[in-house]
Structure 1
Amino acid sequence: MTDPASPPGHRPGPAGVPDVFGTARLGPLTLRNRTIKAATFEGMSRGALVSDELVGFHRRHAAGGVGMTTVAYCAVQPEGRTERDQIWMRPEAVPGLRRLTDAVHAEGAAASAQIGHAGPVANGRSNRAPSLAPVGMFNPQSMRRTRAATEDDIRRITDAHATAARLAIEAGFDAVEIHLGHNYFASSFLSPRINRREDGYGGSLENRAKVARGVARAVRDEVGDRIAVLAKLNMDDGVRGGLRPEESVQVARWLQEDGSVDALELTAGSSLLNPMYLFRGDAPVREFAAAFPQPQRLGVRLVGKRFIRAYPYQEAFLLETARRFRAELELPLVLLGGITARPTMDLAMAEGFQFVAMARALLREPDLIDRIRAEPATPSLCVHCNKCMPTIFSGTHCVLA
């Protein structure tokens, strides 16, 4: 485990490097600082609507000092949820979301809605609707087969992203983050391992990127410059035959050329095939098994170590790959992954990243940003045990807090 005070490759930045706690522009939005609470499904939206617990969750992070907090995740269609209680963007959800954004704004932070369609990661059993993927395939999470998305499905889901963005504006959000990662719908089309189509949405990277680019274009056309538009993009699926950085950089270039997004948040891993590739640290197989009903519980116990793999933790663990994107793009970039200490934040600024995103460390300490600002040497108490991950099914929290 790397010492958080000495992230790999750390070097003092030149004069003029942005202060992570200074104000920053993100498209039409001005944030009070350059820290973002990354999207982590909260498990607090019973009936697919905002709860008091969800409002309180984001109010705490806003009060703790982040520049922007991200609500995760707001599905654009009911079959695009990873479980039935997730919010899906419809008029009935707007009043609760407005209550949430009002609470965040009252604490001085901005609010972003992560919008997307889970595609093959969606739980067809829970949603009582077939999951959609580029091709028909078996989903071990729901123990059902997905249905191959038709061109009508693709158009419908693309349009639904635009509608979700409009509803986000009505709900008072300052930004939307389009989910193009983790082998959700758009990301599954990008993946050569999952996308075996033989029509105009398969084969070449240009074809496989049509869904991601089309969704981003639809959102931008809908919102204009009324709110900021970010996209969460996989740099690497973390599985053999999946999307690799060489292709992802090109996708990022296209999104930049299209002018459809104000920033990219760089991520990695497949919620379908290798979820721990993003969550470095311990692999809580036993806790995951306990969170599932039978027969999935038995399956996780038997084969969980092959699916829920442990990767060593270090500060800024996605930085090495993210540098390739920083070198190729002018678009503002958000560095994610192992951001827990002031030296890591300063390193990100020195390397040309405009923002940093944090998740697990803020689950342990929602006020960590304010504490680091007051005392730069403040250490994070997060031990990267990842036992917070199985709590997404019952209300996301740090089990050690």
Structure 2
Amino acid sequence: MHPKDLNIADFTYELPEAKIAFFPLTQRDASRLLVYQAGTITTGTYRHIDQYIPEHSLAVFNNTKVVEARILFKKPTGGQIEVFCLEPHESYADITTAMAQQGKVLWCCLIGGASKWKSGQVLTRSIAGPKGETVLEARFIEKRSDSFLIELSWTPAFLSFAEILHATGQIPLPPYIKRIADKADEERYQTVYAAHDGSVAAPTAGLHFTEDVLKKLHAKNIQTDFVTLHVGAGTFKPVKAAIMNDHEMHAEFIVVTPGLIRKIAGHQGHPLIAVGTTSLRTLESLYWLGAKLLQDPDCFSSELPHVDQWDPYEESLQQYTVTDALEALAAHLSEKHSGTLVAKTQIIIAPGYPFKIADALVTNFHQPSSTLLLLVAAFIGDDWRKVYDYALANDFRFLSYGDGSLLWRG
């Protein structure tokens, strides 16, 4: 069956609210770890995840950083309007460029209380800080199909938009965590290796890792490296269509160095572990980008490199070796004298997907009827039910602040 014909109703399970983790554990690496390999399930903790990974493996993490994307504005009448910054306007080359804008920026947003925002009304928020007062203004530009285009401007104008968000915004917890983010969330809803501003949701598989755990991996001769995928709110987008053909997958920016692309090309024969579904989507996207270049060397000459959601299921793109595809991608970057690959991926990984790069996946337990659950089902097959039944029966904590798993592909 082609993944387009999959029925999302076949990928659901009963998730009691009591199984959802609404707060993180006191210690990151105390989270429980379910290990699935060749049909067998064992359990441990993240503190000892190195015991379940062979030496000479390569573990790849997503080092994106969650930004304070929720901004609350007060109207003169006392009412409140929430502006949730989703992604930059398409006129910016990438999120890094948009985050560096000074003085003003265009951003696609969700608006809480949009009906209360009268046409022409400018929303203002003032914050007193150590360097004086920061004033942020929001102007409604246009309504789009699934968001609003907002112009945000501020003084002092020399501040970047990233600095403005840090000063005026709040960490956006997932919608199913129905509470206001507190001071602890500023640290705990962020990985210890977060480096690049741009996500509105954390790459949650990485939340369990500490500096001590990373040191243990290195001590066992397990290499670590990083990609950047800026997680959008679309990661929580429910699948409302009956079949996957009618579901539009969200697109996200990825940033990868040529050095990592070459490292993966030379790592064949040793296990590669994707830490998180976002890392997995990024790594697999590298193959398809390279395959598209092999098929058409000029395919990215006039646009940002991208992977469409159904590209991986085109047989003509599946014929190349991983090494050939990655070397083509690295050569393209070299020709362009580019120190990084910046691309967009809309890849959807569902049962029937032909995996090319990842051998294992570290991931949390995901919502029923979600594209993330489809990804897990693609990775380990029908045993996803066995894994989730075991986790529910043995009191594992679910979703973003919950426990997690190390899943080995057959």
Same fold? TM cut 0.5: no
Higher strand share: 2
Larger relative contact order (Cα-Cα within 8 Å, sequence gap ≥ 6): 2
TM-score under structure 1 length normalisation:
0.30
Q: Which has the higher helix share?
A: 1
